[in-house]
Amino acid sequence: MKLNILVTAGDGIGPEVTNEAVSVLKEIAALGGHDFAFMEKRIGGVAIVQDGTPLPDGTLDAALASDAVLLGAVGGNEFNSLPPSKRPEAGLLRIRAELGGFANLRPAFAFKELAINSPLRAEIIDGADILFVRELLGGLYFGQPRAWDRESGESWNTMRYTRSEVARVARIAFQLAQKRRRKLTSVDKANVLEVSQLWRATVNEVAAEFPDVTVEHQYVDAMAMHLMNRPRDFDVVVTENLFGDILSDESGVITGSLGMLPSATIGGKVNLFEPVHGSAPDIAGKGLANPLGAILTGALILRHSGGLETEAAAIESAVRKVLKQGFRTPDLVRGQTEGITALSTKEMGAKVRETVKEQLSAVGS
Ligand code: NAD
Ligand code: IPM
Ligand code: MN
């Protein structure tokens, strides 16, 4: 299998975690005789500093010419006073729009080994396995008009969706639900917002094509609570851009850490893969970042852009095994010491690599 992967590591912990994800993918390529080529390009704050723009043309061209893009994270405190259009985050939003993927899959899987790391009781999260499908190209992030009029002291953003934008992401969510536990929860604010009323009506229309999937609707405020109270009740959760952003970070409480969450964006010209977390300026450059979200994102590249299901599953089971053996980055430790070995970002990457190698060699022999 040949895959050209563009790596845009970005800022803060982005380079630290993507390095480990790439090293695991290289191990997979070596073991299976696959030809994975990696090219690196700048995005975000590092590109603002070196190229004067958060998304240089060379990065976008390389992304459009690749089979998959692996993005670390963008953003840094030094850019916080810039307007949205000039910030590192603008580079991320633009590459998302240009690549065209509208369905951002954010799986939140509660590894049993990390139950103790969640503030929720083990019996609440045991077995939780949710797939968020976040609409990624619409809503408040892209709606026009938007502005901050400093003279009048007024500012506005626009939450806007078309029926077809909702239908296409809903259809993907239903298809994914069919391959899972056949339950779809659509999250909106239809008690207040017209946009959400269109959202709900459209999800109901699309539901007619999928009679084998059970559909329920939840308001986003109640959903934020249900997720903490009864996360096991949810299978696929589809929602608009900002609600999905917020609920997916919240699901980091179920998995034990935000650093465990991967994502894959599909449906466009080139698939885009990013861990859910940001550039974490508070821990950047210290070897403290958890690379497992990025490594699990690597597994999603193999699944969604490479069709390499066995290899994707091998990464996921290697992560589980490493956790089972007690290896932890600092974010995965909550007071417990017994049976725990603290690892740096690089050491965690090396452990997963070693374990993937053992597993795939055992399968091959
Ligand atoms: P963040 O996700 O960077 O960090 C939130 C908290 O989680 C921090 O305490 C951080 O240390 C911790 N954390 C995050 N990832 C971790 C990991 N892998 N291992 C261990 N701990 C981890 O969110 P923030 O602090 O609100 O934002 C920081 C910057 O990142 C901002 O500029 C924001 O816009 C940007 N951001 C970028 C992306 C992206 O590029 N995809 C996503 C989210 C936030
Ligand atoms: C994410 C991030 C981004 C988003 C920001 C950095 C633009 O929070 O990927 O979740 O809001 O989509
Ligand atoms: Mn986010």
Domains 1-107+260-365 and 119-255 share a fold: yes
Cα(33) to centroid of ligand 3, in Å? 36
Indicate the SS3 state at residue 341: strand
DSSP lists the bridge partners of residue 248 as: none
pLDDT band at 360 (very low <50, low <70, confident <90, very high): confident
Q: Is the CB of 101 under 6 A from ligand 1?
A: no
Helices (H), 36-137: 45-51, 57-64, 88-99, 122-125
Chain segment 233-262, per-residue pLDDT in tens: 999 999 999 999 999 999 999 999 999 999
Where in the sequence numbering do the catalytic residues fall?
Answer: 141, 189, 221, 245, 249
DSSP lists the bridge partners of residue 131 as: 107, 236
**Nearest atom of ligand 1 to the alpha carbon of 75:** 32
CATH superfamily of 1-107+260-365: Isopropylmalate Dehydrogenase (3.40.718.10)
Provide DSSP, 125-192.
HTT-EEEEEEE-SSGGGT-S--EEETTTTEEE------HHHHHHHHHHHHHHHHTTTSEEEEEE-TTT
**Nearest atom of ligand 2 to the alpha carbon of 241:** 12
Cα(277) to centroid of ligand 2, in Å? 8
Mean of the pLDDT values across residues 71-88?
97
How many angstroms separate the Cα of 189 from the Cα of each of 199, 218, 220, 229? 9, 8, 6, 20
Give the span between the Cα atoms of 27 and 72, in whole angstroms: 19
CB within 8 A of 35, min separation 6: which ones? 1, 2, 3, 29
**Alpha carbon nearest to ligand 1 atom 12, residue:** 280
Q: Tokens 């390389």 correspond to what residue? A: 62
The residue whose CB lies within 8 Å of the most ligand 2 atoms, and thus the one to mutate among 89, 135, 251, 258, is 89
Mean of the pLDDT values across residues 8-14?
98
Q: Tokens 């821990």 correspond to what residue? A: 283
CATH superfamily of 119-255: Isopropylmalate Dehydrogenase (3.40.718.10)
Q: Pairing state of beta strands 35-40 and 2-10? A: parallel
**Nearest atom of ligand 2 to the alpha carbon of 93:** 7
Cα(211) to centroid of ligand 2, in Å? 33
Residue-range domain boundaries for the chain: 1-107+260-365, 119-255
Q: Is the CB of 74 under 6 A from ligand 1?
A: yes
**Alpha carbon nearest to ligand 2 atom 4, residue:** 245
pLDDT band at 361 (very low <50, low <70, confident <90, very high): confident
pLDDT band at 221 (very low <50, low <70, confident <90, very high): very high
Stated pTM of the model:
0.98
Evaluate whether 45 touches 62 at the Cβ level (below 8 Å). no
Give the span between the Cα atoms of 91 and 274, in whole angstroms: 14
pLDDT band at 140 (very low <50, low <70, confident <90, very high): very high
Q: Is the CB of 135 under 6 A from ligand 1?
A: no
Indicate the SS3 state at residue 68: strand
